[in-house]
Amino acid sequence: MSGFLSQHISVRDFGAKADFVSDDTAPIQAAIDTCRALGRAPGGKRAVYLPGGDYLVGPLATYHNVTLVGDGTGNTRVFSRDDGQTLLEIADITENATSVHVRGISFFANGHAGTGLRFAGRDADARVIDVRIEDCQFSLFERGVVLRLCNNVWLEQVHAADCGTGFEIDTSSDVKANHCFCDSGGGWGFLVSDDGLHGASGEGVYLMGCTTNNQTGGLRVVNQHWGHAVGCSFTTCRGNAVELDGAGSWRIAQGEVAATVDTGRGIVLSAASVKCIVEGNYIALNNGGLLVHGTDHIVANNLLDAGIGDAADIELAGLACKINGNKCLSTVNADSIREVDAANFNYIVANMVQGTITKIGGGSVISAEQFYY
């Protein structure tokens, strides 16, 4: 442990009490500021250590080349002092800020709502680069984790509990979220968007093995291109489980998707979405498993089961989409797959269905290689 401490600055050395009574804002901020100053020198300390305890704080600012590390989410707990505050954010973004890390800490709104963590660049020329948030928890915030204009982000085993929105990823690129979890929140588990003002700044968001449960929705992607959600579980949603709204080149694969209200669908692709792939998912307990608008999508090898509303398993309103290899088990609607609205030029092939397949587009093709049972 002595070697560990020799490389870190402890907030206790600056007077932090961690007793949930004393205001620890100033001691922790002093430790962060000192770490920032020392980190500018070759070989300088670049990590602030928060030993186990309950810290009551106001807003905290961290910086370029600073790491905050605790003793794990069950031991190091930071509680918000003020209403509507952002508990931890990055400051002084006048140029690219790099190497901003947080590990092993729980953050609690403590009845004050607000935002748990917000790392935001200023513009395309002053971004936050190399962000790592690992083994952290954010509880009872309006927004758990907010990332804007960030590059090269790694989120590992981060839990957003009872937050409005769990993870908000805005105009950020090369973001990888691995085994992150949202539950019991009033909004989206993962909200991914691009403001369209900074070129390709928002390309590349990848969710791997992430889970949401009992959120309003699991994943919503708005006007963002290039990403995937692989091996994810979006379940017990109170609305649509997944929405791709103006998304391009997104892939939803090998996951579990479920809603529990009769107005909620499994996956919805909007009219502005293009070139998305939905494959190998188990999609259940929805009013229609898939609603597909937009163009040039592939929907393949999904298992759709236990529909609870009056929509078909796959409703296709898009253009030039390929629907193949899906197994549709729901029996609540006579149609397993049906075209609606202005659907046309779609290719529907080699699906296994219990109901019928209905097309309306004169240019659409239903292959003879369907399996009815």
CATH for 238: 2.160.20.10
> Residue 55 is which amino acid?
Y
72 found inside a domain: yes
Residue 138, token pair as written in the block = 């954010």
Q: pLDDT at position 43, please?
A: 58
Tell me the DSSP string of 17-29.
Answer: --EEEEE-HHHHH
Rounded Cα distance, 86 and 80, in Å: 9
Q: What angle do CA 266, 268, 274 make, to 5 degrees?
A: 140
Rounded Cα distance, 133 and 160, in Å: 12
Residue 293, token pair as written in the block = 């608008």
Residue 270 has pLDDT above 90, yes or no: yes
Mean pLDDT value across the chain: 92
Task: Express as a percent the part of the chain with pLDDT over 70.
Answer: 94
Q: Is 91 or 150 the better-scoring residue by pLDDT?
A: 150
Q: pLDDT at position 45, please?
A: 58
Residue 6 has pLDDT above 60, yes or no: no
Residue 49 has pLDDT above 70, yes or no: yes
User: Which range (60-69, 183-192, 195-204, 261-270) has the least confidence?
Assistant: 195-204
354 found inside a domain: yes
Query: Alpha carbon 54 to chain centroid distance?
Result: 28
User: Which range (5-9, 73-77, 341-345) has the least confidence?
Assistant: 5-9
Please give the helix or strand (H or E) that residue 33 lies within, else none. helix 25-39
297 found inside a domain: yes
Residue 129 has pLDDT above 60, yes or no: yes
Rounded Cα distance, 339 and 270, in Å: 15
Q: What is the number of domains present in the chain?
A: 1
Residue 66, token pair as written in the block = 């600073």
Closest CA to 258 of 291, 228, 297, 284: 284
Tell me the DSSP string of 287-315.
Answer: SSSEEE-SBS-EEES-EEE---SSS-SEE
Residue 188 has pLDDT above 70, yes or no: yes
28 found inside a domain: no
Residue 203 has pLDDT above 90, yes or no: no
pLDDT in tens, 249-269: 999 999 999 877 767 899 999
35 found inside a domain: no
289 found inside a domain: yes
What range does the domain containing 67 cover?
48-372
Residue 61 has pLDDT above 90, yes or no: yes
111 found inside a domain: yes
* β-pair partners for 77: 54, 106
| Side-chain half-sphere exposure of 351, counting CA atoms within 13 A | 30
Q: pLDDT at position 41, please?
A: 57
**Residue 1: which pLDDT band, with cuts at 50, 70 and 90?**
very low
Q: pLDDT at position 2, please?
A: 43
> Residue 360 is which amino acid?
I
Q: pLDDT at position 200, please?
A: 55
**Residue 38: which pLDDT band, with cuts at 50, 70 and 90?**
confident
Q: Backbone phi, then psi, for 326, in 5-degree steps?
A: -85, 150
pLDDT in tens, 219-246: 999 999 999 999 999 999 989 999 999 9
133 found inside a domain: yes
Q: Is 372 or 328 the better-scoring residue by pLDDT?
A: 328
| Side-chain half-sphere exposure of 223, counting CA atoms within 13 A | 11
Residue 92 has pLDDT above 60, yes or no: yes
Rounded Cα distance, 132 and 184, in Å: 25
Rounded Cα distance, 30 and 15, in Å: 10
Burial, 138: exposed, middle or buried (Cβ in 10 Å; 0-12, 13-18, 19+)? buried
User: Which range (12-21, 145-154, 333-342) has the least confidence?
Assistant: 333-342
pLDDT in tens, 287-306: 889 999 999 999 999 999 86
Q: pLDDT at position 42, please?
A: 58
- What DSSP state is assigned to residue 274? B
Q: pLDDT at position 125, please?
A: 85
Q: pLDDT at position 373, please?
A: 66
Cβ proximity of 129 and 152 under 8 Å: yes
Task: Express as a percent the part of the chain with pLDDT over 90.
Answer: 77
Q: pLDDT at position 13, please?
A: 96
Rounded Cα distance, 192 and 212, in Å: 15
Given the structure tokens 């998305």, which residue do they identify? 276
